[in-house]
Amino acid sequence: MLNINYLNQNQKKAVCAPFNVPIVVIAGAGTGKTKVLTSRIMYLLDELEFNYDNILALTFTNKAAYEMKERIEKAGYSKITWMSTYSSLGLRILKEEIGKLRRDSNFVVIDEQEQSEIILSLKKKMNAGLEKKLSKSPRVILGIISGIYSGFFDNVYEEEFNSILSNKKFWLPFMLNEEEKKQIFDIFIQYHETKKNNNYVDYDDLLSLPLLIFKKNKDVVEKWRKRFAYILVDEFQDTSFIQFTFLLYLLDPSHNNLFVVGDPDQTIYTWRGAYPQIFQDLYDKFPNCIKITLDKNYRSIQHILDAGNKVIANNKNREDKKLVSDIKEGELVNIYIGDNKEKQWNFVISEIEKLKGEYSYRDIAILYRSKNETSLIENKFAVKKMPYKIFGGIKFWQRREIKDIVAFLKFMINPNDELALIRIINFSRVGIGETRINNIAKSAFEKKISFYDELENMENEKIQNFVNQINNIKDTCFNLTVSKALTKIVEMSFYHDFLMNEYEINDAKERIENVNELIVTATEKEKQMKEDVSISEFLAEISLYITANDSINENNKDYISLMTIHHAKGLEFKVVFVVGMVDGIFPSSNAENYEEERRLAYVAITRAKERLYLCGYKEILGYLKSRWDSAPSFSFIQEATGLHTKKVFDSVKTLTDLENSWFDSTQQTSVKDRYNEEAIDINVGDSVVHTLFGEGHVVGVSNDYLDIVFNDGKRMTVNAKHKAISKKIN
């Protein structure tokens, strides 16, 4: 049960704050915000006698929601019913209310990859020449659509669409000419028609559609407001305009029971819709709110906090606070500036070698502003035999074998799901090639009928055999539990045989294990809910669910973690190297907001608990070189410098030319000559050959990096441009 004696004075003040008035907690990095949030919930239950079902806690990640639930349950409380992300809550609302939009509740949530497939397909269907005229990629077009929805959620018509694009309030990655606007608008309209016809919902819809329902149905608003007697929000600084609007619809103005926790100094997601003025908007909306600041840090030594405090103090538009720690002893912050990027990485490797006796590899993280900073590390870690992982790879639910089997579930509840049908065709080996699939899709589009209807109408023996096969599977599995349906789908589709024929033995076995894990997940979900879980409910859950395979298991591996600072948000490590801290790279020359770059530096610094290294280099290559009239500068390093820092110098032997060219000692040894200009075309599931590590198979692709499991069992992330990598020809 709740014990407030372990809280500091300001934490107690926040936990025991009065209700019927909004509470704003400004919580600096490492100050125990999650502890305060969970304790506040316990206080509401114990002291104020709120009901479990009437408390809503909103977070920004499923992981954060899970951790908060776990803390509360370990303290002896029952499970909080409404603890989720904004998207998860929007999904639950849609399941109840989408009928108000004359839509079926058996909709399917599509992911970014499926969205891109729709956009690419539309470009081909609408006009064969359009693809050449409109050079914007599906990802960019979806970014425009998402940018619109971050600040606009009503029906969109052409004049409003053009107005939005010309309004600088809404983020756009580039300027569009009039022809591009018209082309994108045409795709935009057809994209929405495709979603309606196939009963798809994308991630933007999970908030925009509930808001549209709220706007048109006051009775629905009142219904949901009555459910929530108290609302708590985690990481409030990440809140977008549409999320804030969504929150205000849910908040009952008769009591304004709102409790938000966040840190304006960690607003680093403006490109995702967050905006630094969110706290001021909150103060303007609720001028009577109570503000409490948490500034006692329990994560880092004071030297590290001093560096962070010095950097962030240079921002003008911020809440005034200064982090303090009881841990006064410890290493000074290390500052290193090398002659070039290669020397910087040599220094990092050297320092890790020195730390190995005191720290495990899992204690160490290397953070950077851009993934381009990692272009030199592959051969260096390989030579030193240091295990590492570049984060940002493929997730469990994105794996090919999982999406294949889930496609059958989607087809069972919605035969008109074109994406699911095409995926089933591709792995069923029914003799229907890509050209035939494209022609069928185009014909269905022109006739304004579904892809499935077009298949049924075709007088082709192979196609009719396929239709009969999938209908047989659907009829057999429809009334089964999800876990039993999955088992039957795998059996009737001969999916294990497909994997064994498609992939090398080790790769196939791993994929079969993943399919088995999917069935286990469904079984556990059925036990957890203690009732039959419908296929629709299961699909809704997994669309927003992150499995233990993607997080918990990874934490047990002993490797050095490499990631962007954005990816590191919310994490902590005993030792942190921040690399590439040179003006033009970090802070980025492409950044529109210099203060946000500084907030990124603050976030990077405050990830470190015991040791911190701030690293840069003098030699700037490429297009940035011509921008310097004099030597490059190191703004954030200079801002961090003080009595809490020390300069360190090169104490590492440069790798020999032979070591630098380990992929082929007959090649030239310059960095440029070790990499191809373009990454070779490698996809998940492909077999590859690496000149040092041997044969393996690709299990993840992220930008120019490949996550590879080698035949000896080692798993490594490598640069797809490196000449050491080649695609295996079977």
CA-closest candidate to residue 258, choices 52, 37, 24, 51: 24
Contact 602, 581 (CB under 8 A): no
Q: Give catalytic residues, as residue numbers.
A: 33-34, 234-235, 266, 607
Token pair of 276 as six digits: 């630094």
56: three-class secondary structure by DSSP: strand
Parallel, antiparallel, or unpaired: how do β-strands 725-727 and 687-690 relate?
antiparallel
Q: Give the number of other CB atoms < 10 A from CB of residue 652.
A: 17
Q: Could you identify the residue written with the tokens 């776990």?
A: 70
Token pair of 698 as six digits: 């690709």
Cα Rg of the chain (Å, integer)? 27
Q: Could you identify the residue written with the tokens 């819809």?
A: 205
Contact 613, 336 (CB under 8 A): yes
559: three-class secondary structure by DSSP: coil
CA-closest candidate to residue 655, choices 377, 444, 426, 435: 377
- Write b or e for each residue in 300-333: b if 16 or more Cβ atoms lie within 10 A of its Cβ, otherwise e: bbbbbbbbbbbbbeebeebeebebebebeebebb
**Residue 25, H or E segment:** strand 23-27
User: What span, in angstroms and rounded, lies between the C-alpha atoms of 40 and 232?
Assistant: 9
What sign has the CA pseudo-torsion 687, 690, 696, 700? negative
User: What span, in angstroms and rounded, lies between the C-alpha atoms of 411 and 421?
Assistant: 7
Compute the C-alpha angle 59/74/85, nearest 5°. Answer: 10
| Contacts of residue 582, Cβ cutoff 8 Å, sequence gap at least 6 | 616, 617, 618, 620, 632, 633, 634
211: three-class secondary structure by DSSP: helix
State residue 104 phi and psi, 5-degree precision: -80, 140
Distances (CA, A) of 724 to 87, 617, 663, 690: 42, 27, 5, 5
User: What span, in angstroms and rounded, lies between the C-alpha atoms of 348 and 384?
Assistant: 12
User: What span, in angstroms and rounded, lies between the C-alpha atoms of 316 and 598?
Assistant: 11
Q: Could you identify the residue written with the tokens 């983020």?
A: 171
User: What span, in angstroms and rounded, lies between the C-alpha atoms of 172 and 136?
Assistant: 13
CA-closest candidate to residue 111, choices 86, 142, 136, 141: 142
User: What span, in angstroms and rounded, lies between the C-alpha atoms of 55 and 71?
Assistant: 16
* SS3 per-residue string spanning 235-291: CHHHCEHHHHHHHHHHCCCCCCCEEEEECHHHCCCHHHCECCCHHHHHHHHCCCCEE
Contact 467, 455 (CB under 8 A): yes
